[in-house]
């Protein structure tokens, strides 16, 4: 399938799947997903499925990316933290919506490839580093928005502590081999409010002290 045809089909599928935010739809249409998948899966780049990218990681299904992005409510002046760069696909979608994106990946090889894609596509508002995503990015905190692309056992308090008041975090919560729920966390003056959004399945959020 030609990339242009694939992108048109992708947007139609996202609309059918309940994505109504026009900025999110435009960003998804603009990002060439075929750049973010291995050569052997290029012909499936616009299929409604997750695809492997190595290191037991995947590039998420487009509808999941769109739902998470829409739930994050990203504004053009926002400073955003992403935990789990992966292929860089979600990063690119977020970067088209915000002022500045900071993204952390625990696998150096994945981050190197993602950074090459960022350079190729000439997006200059992304700052990336290899690190332990469970720690966030204290040196750049606070953030208006935080996106977590791996499943935490509970709402990560360390990351909540790096949100601005009024900030939003979208995070999958649940056991690695059990039920997981995508949650939206809002930080107010008096603490957090959580909202369950949908059932999901993500690889676990792992700290440097854990194996995997």
Q: What is the pLDDT of residues 30-81, one digit of tens each?
A: 999 999 988 888 888 888 888 888 877 888 899 999 999 999 999 999 999 9
pLDDT value at 131 more than 90: yes
Give the strand pairing for 57-59 and 79-83: unpaired
Q: Are 121 and 35 in contact (CB under 8 A)?
A: yes
Q: Is 189 a member of any domain?
A: yes
Which helix (H) or strand (E) covers residue 158, if one does?
Answer: helix 157-160
Task: Give this prediction's pTM.
Answer: 0.93
Distance CA 137, CA 131 (A): 9
Give me the phi and psi of 57, to 5 degrees please: -115, 165
Q: Has residue 160 been placed in a domain?
A: yes
CATH number, domain of 106, equals: 3.40.50.150
- The answer to whether residue 33 is domain-embedded is no
Task: Give the confidence band of 163 by pLDDT, cuts at 50, 70, 90.
Answer: very high
Please state the domain count of the chain.
1
Per the structure, the complete domain to which residue 128 belongs is given by 49-200
Residues 152, 138, 94, 43, Cα dihedral to 10°? -60
Q: Are strands 100-105 and 79-83 parallel, antiparallel or unpaired?
A: parallel
Residue 14 forms part of a structural domain: no
Kindly state whether residue 38 falls inside one of the protein's structural domains: no
Residue 190: inside a domain:
yes
Q: Residues with catalytic annotation?
A: 60
């Amino acid at each position: 399938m030609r990339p242009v045809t694939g992108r048109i089909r992708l947007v139609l599928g996202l609309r059918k799947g309940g994505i109504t935010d026009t900025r999110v739809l435009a960003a998804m249409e603009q990002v060439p997903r075929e750049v973010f998948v291995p050569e052997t899966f290029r012909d499936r780049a616009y299929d409604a499925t997750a695809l492997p990218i190595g290191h037991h990681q995947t590039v998420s299904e487009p509808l999941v990316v769109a739902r998470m992005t829409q739930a994050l409510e990203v504004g053009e002046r926002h400073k955003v933290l992403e935990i789990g760069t992966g292929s860089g696909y979600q990063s690119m979608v977020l970067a088209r919506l915000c002022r500045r994106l900071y993204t952390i990946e625990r696998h150096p090889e994945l981050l190197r490839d993602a950074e090459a894609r960022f350079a190729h596509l000439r997006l200059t508002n992304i700052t990336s580093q290899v690190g332990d995503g469970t720690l966030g990015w204290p040196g750049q905190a606070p953030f208006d928005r935080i996106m977590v692309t791996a499943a935490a056992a509970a709402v990560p308090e360390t990351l909540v502590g790096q949100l601005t008041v009024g900030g939003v975090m979208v995070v999958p919560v649940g056991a690695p081999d059990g039920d997981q729920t995508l949650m939206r966390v809002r930080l107010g003056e008096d603490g957090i409010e959580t909202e369950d959004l949908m059932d999901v399945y993500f690889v676990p959020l792992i700290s440097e002290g854990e194996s995997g």
